Every structure is written in structure tokens, then in C-alpha cells.
Amino acid sequence: MNQEQLSDFMLKCMKFVDKNPKSKIIQEGSHPFSSYLEMEYEEANFKIRFRAQRSPCFNGSCWVKVWSGNTEVFEAQGNFMSEPFNTQAKIYTPGDWENLLK
């Protein structure tokens, strides 16, 4: 997975959590120069958690973690403005869990 594909995949995970009614907000807040959101979706043996922070003065940051069962199958981080960019994966284990994001 190249960097552009990884950024797109991170965004797909974030949108899945953000739009899913079963998701919950873990933390959120804003200050004059920064805002952040951390959310989590969990059901049966599947869990996604992300955090995005952005600022008008500098590049923000984000991370996404995905678990299938008790195993972490995806972890990536990068910069964030309106979507992830300049991303790097720490863990990526392809599998059936990816089909759950549709």
C-alpha cells in the first residue's frame, strides 16, 4: 500500500466510524488554535478508534487503530488538515475485517 492509498484507507476508516450510529465520541474539544476529535466504533469482534487534530496555524495529526478480535490488524498515523496525508503504517494485516468497512 503506497502513501496515497494508505491515506485514503485511513480516511475510509474515519468516515466509517464518524457516520456509524453505533460509534461514540471518546474526546472532543476546541481552542482558538486547535480542535480535536477522538471516536470509537466497537461491535462483536471488531473495533476501530481514531483521533484527528487540526489547526489553522500548522499541520494537524491523526491516527487510526483497528482490531479484529483481540488482534490489532491496522495502525497508522499521519498529518491531518481536512483529511489524512503524509501517513505511515505501523501495522497492516490484510483480511476479511476490511470488508466490514463497506
More confident residue, 64 or 58: 64
**How many structural domains is the chain composed of?**
1
pLDDT (0 to 100) of residue 96: 93
In a domain, 35, yes or no: yes
End-to-end CA distance of the chain: 18
Answer yes or no: is pLDDT of 58 > 80.
no
In a domain, 83, yes or no: yes
Model confidence at 57, in pLDDT bands (50, 70, 90)?
confident
In a domain, 98, yes or no: no
Cα 12-13-16 angle, rounded to 5 deg = 85
In a domain, 97, yes or no: no
Answer yes or no: is pLDDT of 77 > 90.
yes
Q: Which domain holds residue 17?
A: 3-92
Model confidence at 31, in pLDDT bands (50, 70, 90)?
confident
Model confidence at 99, in pLDDT bands (50, 70, 90)?
very high
